[in-house]
Each structure stands twice: as structure tokens, then as C-alpha cells.
Amino acid sequence: MKQRFFLASAIVALATALPATASAASMAANIASVFQLSGKVFVFVTNIAWDGAPSTCTPGPEYMIDPNTAVGRSQLALVLMAKANNSRVYLVGDGTCVGGGPSGNIGESLIGIQLQ
């Protein structure tokens, strides 16, 4: 009985310790375009290779960057560098769908970017 309780407690602890981004979409892609609207920057991608399940944010694929934060400014710098050099990037979203993009699109908040 004690072992079952310990195992159940460990599973619950592990499940609650996992970040909410566990189901977020990630992909390798090229930057198709970058669009600023209402203080946010929206990044559209092309030549997508999903790493797991695609984003549930529709119509996607689009990511949103908040340039009012230090992290957002560094993400924007990498996005613009990748666009200028036609480099592939690896993008990671946080699983949160955000609206307000161009043409009413809904994108995912960007939490990670890596030049490939």
C-alpha cells in the first residue's frame, strides 16, 4: 500500500512539475515575413518541418514576439538576421494562442529560437 501511494505521489509531482509548454509546437523553418502590428511582431514561416505535433493555433503557422521585453528584442534580432540571410531557424512556441495578428490570424507566442 505504501509503495502505491509513493508511486502515485511521484507521478502527481512529476505531472505538476512539467511546464505548460510541454504541448507547444516546435519546428524548423524559414522566415517568410515579419509584420509589426499594435506593438507586437508577428513572424510568418515557410518550408516547415514540424518537430512533433503541429500548433493547434489556427490558421498558423505564425509566431508572436513582444518587442517590449529584453527577450522579445533578442528574438526579434535573430528573426531579422535569419530573414536577411535566408537562414533556417528552429522555433519553439509556448502553446498559448494569441490573436490580433494581421488579417485576424492567431499565432503562438514564441519562447525560443535557434539559427541553424
| Tens digits of residue pLDDT in 35-45 | 988 888 999 99
**Would the pLDDT of 6 be above 50?**
no
Q: Is residue 13 part of a domain?
A: no
User: Position 33: which residue type?
Assistant: S
Closest to 33 (Cα-Cα) out of 91, 100, 79: 79
- Cβ pair 43, 79 in contact under 8 A: yes
Closest to 65 (Cα-Cα) out of 103, 21, 19, 113: 113
Structure confidence at residue 78 as a pLDDT band (50, 70, 90): very high
33 Cβ contact partners less than 8 Å away, ≥ 6 residues apart: 43, 44, 83
Q: Is residue 2 part of a domain?
A: no
Q: Is residue 4 part of a domain?
A: no
Q: Is residue 54 part of a domain?
A: yes
Q: Is residue 5 part of a domain?
A: no
Write the CATH number for 45: 2.40.50.110
What range does the domain containing 67 cover? Answer: 20-115
**Would the pLDDT of 14 be above 60?**
no
Residue 96 or 90, more confident: 90
Domains held by the chain: number: 1
Report pTM. 0.72
For the chain, the average pLDDT equals 77
